[in-house]
Structure 1
Amino acid sequence: MSEEELQLHFTYEEKSGNYSSDSEDLLEELLCCLMQLITDIPLLDITYEISVEAISTMVVFLSCQLFHKEVLRQSISHKYLMRGPCLPYTSKLVKTLLYNFIRQEKPPPPGTHVFPQQSDGGGLLYGLASGVARLWTVFTLGGVGSKATASPELSSPLANQSLLLLLVLANLTDASDAPNPYRQAIMSFKNTQDSSPFPSSIPHAFQINFNSLYTALCEQQTSDQATLLLYTLLHQNSNIRTYMLARTDMENLVLPILEILYHVEERNSHHVYMALIILLILTEDDGFNRSIHEVILKNITWYSERVLTEISLGSLLILVVIRTIQYNMTRTRDKYLHTNCLAALANMSAQFRSLHQYAAQRIISLFSLLSKKHNKVLEQATQSLRGSLSSNDVPLPDYAQDLNVIEEVIRMMLEIINSCLTNSLHHNPNLVYALLYKRDLFEQFRTHPSFQDIMQNIDLVITFFSSRLLQAGAELSVERVLEIIKQGVIALPKDRLKKFPELKFKYVEEEQPEEFFIPYVWSLVYNSAVGLYWNPQDIQLFTMDSD
């Protein structure tokens, strides 16, 4: 149903009967009633489906965005939800939708009568329920049908619809004269245990149980929409971010995010981006970067490249991010994915502690892969240049740009290794071991003008420890080499290591984030809303074969 049709259905040119001459537009009144219904009706077996249908109806009213290529800056539903009688319900609605997501209430068992037989007395609840049932019949007959079946893993349609509506509301564009109140509510809510007063300057504020929200977020990360909610809360609500970073069980949140990245080939690109940016936001905090190396995990069953009987959360994070970079190099070749992966590693690098032997190997292996790629592109560029001298007719690939990109990535990897050696050399004998084992890799970059400065410390460490190993004699066991490294760390003159600026990267949204997030949110609604159907031929906001 188009926006114009909605206006025809719900706007009266002449108001009569029970409506006074100054009555509000009927659509505005209906939206207010839906908000009241969602927020004020207690969740019981007989009200479960009423709540689902009320939330779904609000999604339908906002779905005119699906039929526009451009991001809608204003619509009738936008206008009513942003101001007037609907505005006071903002915080209650956001809070209710969050609690619906937290509780993950399952629908009543089959055979439960959602709309009981009306007794002589009737009653307010029955009248309201039957009214909503009739209302929903109007909408379904008007063109919004049902999907064939809900996905079998969807155990709580109410939680799913609530989360989708919450994401839609959070991503409504600001009105010309006021910011999005639903985003304001999401940005400012606090923990129920926080007794400090809200500043008078913060509108739509409320409190919610952060422990329950954290638990639900940890458990639901298999869905795109739950990951998007986690990103939204971490990025926009400083209370939530502070709370999460103070948790002593961060592995419950980080492991599901790592599993998303590990199964990158099974996920759509948006889901992978959100998971990666969540890691980037977390690694902006030094406390997080320290604590993840103190959490020891046993038997990570989903990691199949190698049996990991015992590894720190920090080392596992490094392994998964490096794997994502390598996958991207061979498959998608997305520069922004590289950038975000490397930024997360860079943020962590000064705090690397007791790196697992395999994690240290993978850092150097990634550098080896980049080095080979660099040499290959350099060779292609040289051949291309020779070809251009002999023939002016054949168009040549732009290898200079490829070379520039690969050199940027190599530089970043060298900075990450250098940051670890400069700040936590004594904590990472396995990295020094891996560095020495593959020391020939770094030879070609010692005099390269793009890397000469950053190679100074790496070259110093390689030279110093190579000398000590040479003094110890040939045929050394792995254990003996590590022992020499641990002894050498104490003897290495730290003042000879050149200081570089601290590697710190901060995630910042693009200037117009709605151009990314609004199509993404509506693609989630289109693909996973329960009981709602939109004709795919009419969808304009995104292409049907895209992620």
Structure 2
Amino acid sequence: MSGLLQLIASIEGNAHSGPLVRLPFASLFDTLGVCLAHENSVLLLYSLVHGNSDFLEYVLVRTDLDTLMLPNVPWYRERLLNQTSLGSLIVIILIRTVKYNLSKLRDVYLHTNCLATLANMAPHVYRLSAYASERLVSLFDMLSRKYNKLAEIKNDKMNTEDGDLRGDCFFEDPSAELHIYTDFLRLVLEILNAILTYALPQNPEVVYAIMHRQEVFLPFKSHPRYNELLENIYTVVDFFNSRIDSQKMDADWSVEEVLQVIINNCRSWRGEGMKMFTQLRFTYEQESHPEEFFIPYVWQLVLSHSGFTFNPSSINLFPVPVEDINGEEVKKQLQNGEMKEHALQVETPV
């Protein structure tokens, strides 16, 4: 762990002068790929990608990014993921994170970052799996149900004291919550639109998932924030519905038969009637004071994995004022007049 701390300090430009440890990027990349089940490895990867431009460039030119992701698929317990692509896996994990965040953490920042990542990927997805496609549509369905519940509260159609809502809100004010979900729903629709506009022929499973659950979009067809986006979705639905109807089959359709019709007609899809929207592009910016998150997080890992015994109550991670015996704040001065701060105190290991 001390090596991890030194390397992170080096990445941030705060390491003390001394001998440098040189590691081949290829070896580091491959090793991280098999160790990302551990939090300290994830922290190291984040620090390298964000703080070392050379390593970031190396990662971006690698053609096997699945090395960093696919070895960790076994931890995904909801469904057996065999022969899944890296893109499909990322979509599945991001949507799973969004759903967990809605039910447990309720962190707007995490939610926005996950949806922003999906939006950046959307125009470039290729052969998204059936499960990933179904998860995308189910994400809209889940958000729409939450949106409808909040809208009912705002319109006084539901008793606000009903405990069914209070436990899973971002904010206590239903109006603020409704505004957040309005934006979330639009962002998911823009993600689906980007796939249909720029990558439909390569993603028949997305078309099938939308057609299979097309009723979830219907209540929002006349919504002023969503109507143009939904016009595109229903243009696609109508196109493929007409192709299926033209087959004039009396028996019930199987999933495979419907999907085959979609695949066959993807070749003739020309995007007629689709409205073009500006592609969403989000960029990641680290918070202005990242140490407020990383210092406690690193020390949490130190306490958990170092093998040393610390007294947690003796660890002060940030500068704190010194108080006298009467509880009044005392500013201790150094000889040069600078403030003396207790930046970090760690009790000697026992």
TM value normalised by structure 1? 0.52
Report the residue type matching 1:374 in the other structure: Y
What is residue 23 of structure 1 aligned with on the other side?
none
Residue of structure 2 aligned with 1:431, choices 203, 206, 212: 206
Residue of structure 1 aligned with 2:37, choices 204, 216, 222: 222
- The Cα RMSD (Å) is 2.8
What is residue 62 of structure 2 aligned with on the other side?
247
What is residue 354 of structure 1 aligned with on the other side?
127
The 4+ residue runs of structure 1 with deviation greater than 4 A are 168-171, 204-207, 384-387
What is residue 408 of structure 1 aligned with on the other side?
183
What is residue 94 of structure 2 aligned with on the other side?
321
- Judge conservation of contact 1:364–1:438 (CA < 8 Å) in 2: yes
Alignment size in residue pairs: 306
Q: CA deviation at 1:205?
A: 9.2
Structure 1 pair 384/438, CA: closer, same or farther in 2 (3 Å)? closer
- Judge conservation of contact 2:150–2:174 (CA < 8 Å) in 1: yes
Larger radius of gyration: 1
Q: CA deviation at 1:377?
A: 1.3
Report Cα offsets for 1:294-348 as digits up to 9, x if no partner.
xxxxxx5433322333222221221121111111111111111111111121111
What is residue 368 of structure 1 aligned with on the other side?
141
1:100-249 matches, within 5 Å, as 160-168=1-9, 170=11, 180-182=13-15, 208-249=23-64
Instruction: Give me the identity figure in percent.
Output: 39
Report the residue type matching 2:315 in the other structure: I
What is residue 108 of structure 1 aligned with on the other side?
none
Residue of structure 2 aligned with 1:417, choices 171, 177, 192: 192
- Judge conservation of contact 1:168–1:522 (CA < 8 Å) in 2: no
1:266-277 matches, within 5 Å, as none
Inter-partner Cα distance in structure 1 for 2:180 and 2:137: 19
Inter-partner Cα distance in structure 2 for 1:494 and 1:184: 60
Report the residue type matching 1:507 in the other structure: Y
Structure 1 pair 219/161, CA: closer, same or farther in 2 (3 Å)? farther
What is residue 536 of structure 1 aligned with on the other side?
312
- Judge conservation of contact 1:352–1:420 (CA < 8 Å) in 2: yes
What is residue 321 of structure 2 aligned with on the other side?
none
3-state secondary structure, aligned to 1:336: helix
Q: CA deviation at 1:466?
A: 2.0
Report the residue type matching 1:426 in the other structure: P
Report the residue type matching 2:8 in the other structure: L
Report the residue type matching 2:137 in the other structure: I
Question: Residue 343 in 1 paired to residue 158 in 2?
Answer: no
Q: CA deviation at 1:428?
A: 0.9
3-state secondary structure, aligned to 1:222: coil
Report the residue type matching 2:210 in the other structure: L
Structure 1 pair 169/490, CA: closer, same or farther in 2 (3 Å)? closer
TM value normalised by structure 2? 0.79
> Could you say which structure has the greater relative contact order, defined with CA pairs below 8 angstroms and 6 or more residues apart?
1
Inter-partner Cα distance in structure 1 for 2:302 and 2:75: 29
Structure 1 pair 373/239, CA: closer, same or farther in 2 (3 Å)? same
Consecutive unaligned residues of structure 2, counting only runs of 5 or more, are: 161-171, 319-350
Report the residue type matching 1:339 in the other structure: T
Q: CA deviation at 1:206?
A: 8.6
What is residue 153 of structure 2 aligned with on the other side?
380
- Judge conservation of contact 1:315–1:359 (CA < 8 Å) in 2: yes
Residue of structure 2 aligned with 1:523, choices 261, 278, 300: 300
What is residue 460 of structure 1 aligned with on the other side?
235
Inter-partner Cα distance in structure 1 for 2:253 and 2:16: 61
Inter-partner Cα distance in structure 1 for 2:307 and 2:181: 45
Inter-partner Cα distance in structure 2 for 1:402 and 1:360: 27
What is residue 346 of structure 2 aligned with on the other side?
none
Structure 1 pair 206/427, CA: closer, same or farther in 2 (3 Å)? same
- Judge conservation of contact 2:95–2:136 (CA < 8 Å) in 1: yes
Inter-partner Cα distance in structure 2 for 1:184 and 1:507: 31
What is residue 85 of structure 2 aligned with on the other side?
312
Question: Residue 514 in 1 paired to residue 280 in 2?
Answer: no
3-state secondary structure, aligned to 2:44: helix
Consecutive unaligned residues of structure 1, counting only runs of 5 or more, are: 1-159, 172-179, 186-203, 260-299, 388-396, 543-547
Structure 1 pair 183/385, CA: closer, same or farther in 2 (3 Å)? farther
- Judge conservation of contact 1:170–1:183 (CA < 8 Å) in 2: no
- Judge conservation of contact 1:164–1:525 (CA < 8 Å) in 2: no
- Judge conservation of contact 2:6–2:15 (CA < 8 Å) in 1: no
Report Cα offsets for 1:61-92 as digits up to 9, x if no partner.
xxxxxxxxxxxxxxxxxxxxxxxxxxxxxxxx
Residue of structure 2 aligned with 1:332, choices 96, 100, 105: 105
- Judge conservation of contact 1:445–1:451 (CA < 8 Å) in 2: yes
Q: CA deviation at 1:181?
A: 4.9
Q: CA deviation at 1:351?
A: 1.3
Q: CA deviation at 1:470?
A: 2.6
Report the residue type matching 2:179 in the other structure: N
Inter-partner Cα distance in structure 2 for 1:482 and 1:501: 29
Inter-partner Cα distance in structure 1 for 2:123 and 2:80: 27
Q: CA deviation at 1:165?
A: 3.1
Q: CA deviation at 1:169?
A: 5.4
Structure 1 pair 214/429, CA: closer, same or farther in 2 (3 Å)? same
- Judge conservation of contact 2:35–2:41 (CA < 8 Å) in 1: yes
